[in-house]
């Protein structure tokens, strides 16, 4: 079968729209037709080389679609099923899945190679294998993916909105609810209001934080944060520090959550100084894995019992959190429609990423025909 897809061949080159050969599903795999794909900053990291995958690769790891075909041994899904893809596969029985940390499933080891769990590839171009970002490659009209990446949802869930529950929502929401363990009355500082940070704002507000302080240099981001549950918004870490000191009578924030596009030492240092004794800094944003992005005296951790907590997929379990977030959307508790600030065709993907870099969007989404 043929499929149109946006691929990256090397660092610092734009997405290229090509027609690929796509294999049919093998054992445990399904053929999905994507309805929508979100433009998350993580794919931008691949494009600009902050994180280097195996090239060439089909981009996209936030997606939702409809199952068209299932391979041998697939019991959980059938053609016609509507699914949200998890950007991390869940095997269900490795040590991490078995202990309620399925976001750390061993199958996640090859998400940047983009191959199937058996090491082979399903996308090809002129005889060359292409990986699929996070094993799902949602910047393709169709993809053959593992059933371990698919969470079935009811047919009446609007996939063009629920697509955000593949990455941005669980990552941001979980950063506040699971990783930061926000409690009623907390003061939470959130650095960076994109597709991830806005959902940390929603998560912190829903968990009962008394003060949700959104920090972003861009006015449109701060405005949206205040609509989504932030009690305060400021343009810089310095203003945030001063405000948090006032709000907490000099105690400091209970938790800080870092969701900026590219994490650096300035933001991690600001966050560690912003939290109170015994507080937590959650690091959700990514950066070049070869750069030291944390540099401050370790004595701050020892003497004040401050904690640094990394967070992947919001430290949640995709098969538990994705259906729960869908329920919250349907119940009107969680907002999604407002977060989609622009939609694009697949052909407009480079414009979509330019808009992300220019700070125009909360989340841009590709809608397929
Ligand atoms: N840990 C995970 O599981 C996971 C999952 C998805 C994405 N991510 C990462 O999360 C980060 C955010 O992704 P996104 O899609 O929301 O990005 P985005 O580009 O849409 O948003 C980032 C926001 O940060 C703001 N910003 C930049 N520098 C800042 C600073 N110093 N202080 C305050 N605000 C600042 C920008 O203005 C922008 O609004 C990226 O690094 C992405 O790769 C992590
Ligand atoms: Zn993402
Ligand atoms: Zn597992």
Does 162 lie in the same domain as 176?
A: no
Confidence of residue 285 (pLDDT cuts 50, 70, 90): very high
Does 21 lie in the same domain as 149?
A: yes
Q: In the chain, what percentage of residues exceed pLDDT 90?
A: 98
In a domain, 325, yes or no: no
From the candidates 45, 82, 178, 241, which is the catalytic residue? Answer: 45
Does 351 lie in the same domain as 248?
A: no
Which one, of 330, 321, 367, 335, lies nearest residue 64 by Cα?
367
Confidence of residue 52 (pLDDT cuts 50, 70, 90): very high
Beta carbon of 196 within 6 Å of any ligand 1 atom: yes
Which one, of 74, 68, 65, lies nearest residue 153 by Cα?
65
Ligand 1 atom with the smallest distance to the CA of 263 is 41
In a domain, 323, yes or no: no
Give residue 60's pLDDT. 98
For the question of residue 42 being annotated catalytic, the response is yes
Give residue 174's pLDDT. 98
Give residue 178's pLDDT. 98
Does 227 lie in the same domain as 115?
A: no
pLDDT digits (tens, 9 = 90+) for 178-211: 999 999 999 999 999 999 999 999 999 999 999 9
Please compute the mean of the pLDDT values over residues 321-345 and round it to a whole number: 98
Average pLDDT, the chain: 97
pLDDT digits (tens, 9 = 90+) for 233-255: 999 999 999 999 999 999 999 99
Give residue 297's pLDDT. 93
In a domain, 266, yes or no: yes
Provide the domain limits for residue 208: 172-312
Does 159 lie in the same domain as 32?
A: yes
Does 275 lie in the same domain as 192?
A: yes
From the candidates 85, 134, 167, 274, which is the catalytic residue? Answer: 167
Does 267 lie in the same domain as 354?
A: no
Those residues whose C-beta lies under 8 Å from the C-beta of residue 298, and which sit 6 or more positions away, are: none
Tokens found for residue 303: 């003497």
In a domain, 331, yes or no: no
Does 234 lie in the same domain as 155?
A: no
Which one, of 96, 99, 122, 120, lies nearest residue 107 by Cα?
96
Please compute the mean of the pLDDT values over residues 14-35 and round it to a whole number: 98
Q: CATH no. for residue 212?
A: 3.40.50.720
For the question of residue 61 being annotated catalytic, the response is yes
Confidence of residue 136 (pLDDT cuts 50, 70, 90): very high
Structural domain total, the chain: 2
Give residue 246's pLDDT. 98
Does 251 lie in the same domain as 208?
A: yes
Does 261 lie in the same domain as 224?
A: yes
Q: Find the 303 Cα to ligand 2 centroid distance in Å.
A: 35
Angle between helices 197-206 and 219-227 (to 10 degrees): 30
pLDDT digits (tens, 9 = 90+) for 292-321: 999 999 999 999 999 999 999 999 999 999
pLDDT digits (tens, 9 = 90+) for 137-176: 999 999 999 999 999 999 999 999 999 999 999 999 999 9
Q: CATH no. for residue 89?
A: 3.90.180.10
From the candidates 61, 82, 178, 241, which is the catalytic residue? Answer: 61
Across the chain, which distance is largest between two alpha carbons, in Å?
A: 64
pLDDT digits (tens, 9 = 90+) for 91-133: 999 999 999 999 999 999 999 999 998 999 999 999 999 999 9
Beta carbon of 213 within 6 Å of any ligand 1 atom: no
Distance CA 179, CA 105 (A): 17
């Amino acid at each position: 079968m043929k499929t149109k897809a946006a691929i990256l061949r090397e660092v610092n080159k734009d997405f290229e729209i090509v027609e690929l050969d796509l294999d049919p599903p093998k054992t445990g795999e399904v053929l999905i037709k994507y309805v929508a794909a979100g433009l998350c900053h993580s794919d931008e990291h691949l494009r600009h080389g902050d994180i280097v995958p195996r090239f060439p690769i089909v981009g996209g790891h936030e997606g939702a679609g409809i199952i068209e075909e299932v391979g041998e041994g697939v019991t959980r899904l059938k053609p016609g099923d509507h699914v949200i893809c998890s950007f991390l596969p869940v095997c269900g029985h490795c040590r991490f899945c078995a202990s309620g940390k399925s976001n750390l499933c061993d199958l996640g080891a090859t998400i940047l190679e983009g191959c199937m769990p058996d090491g082979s590839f399903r996308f090809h171009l002129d005889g060359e294998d292409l990986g699929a970002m996070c094993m799902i490659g949602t910047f393709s009209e169709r993809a053959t993916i593992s059933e371990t990446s698919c969470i079935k949802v009811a047919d009446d869930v609007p996939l063009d909105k629920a697509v955000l529950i593949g990455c941005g929502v669980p990552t941001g929401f979980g950063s506040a609810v699971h990783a930061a363990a926000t409690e009623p009355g907390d003061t939470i500082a959130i650095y960076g209001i994109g597709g991830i940070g806005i959902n940390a704002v929603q998560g912190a507000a829903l968990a009962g934080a008394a003060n949700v302080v959104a920090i972003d240099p861009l006015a449109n981001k701060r405005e949206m944060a205040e609509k989504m549950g932030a009690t305060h918004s400021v343009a810089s870490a310095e203003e945030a520090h001063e405000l948090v000191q006032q709000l907490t009578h000099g105690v400091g924030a209970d938790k800080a959550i870092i969701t900026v596009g590219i994490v650096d030492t300035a933001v991690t240092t600001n966050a560690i100084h912003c939290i109170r004794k015994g507080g937590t800094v959650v690091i959700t944003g990514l950066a070049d894995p070869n750069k030291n992005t944390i540099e401050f005296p370790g004595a701050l951790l020892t003497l004040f019992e401050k904690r640094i907590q990394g967070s992947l997929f919001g430290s949640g379990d995709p098969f538990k959190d994705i259906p729960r977030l869908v329920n919250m959307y349907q119940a009107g508790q969680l907002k999604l429609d407002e977060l989609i600030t622009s939609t694009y065709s697949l052909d407009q993907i480079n414009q979509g990423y330019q808009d992300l870099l220019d700070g125009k969007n909360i989340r841009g989404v590709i809608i397929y025909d």
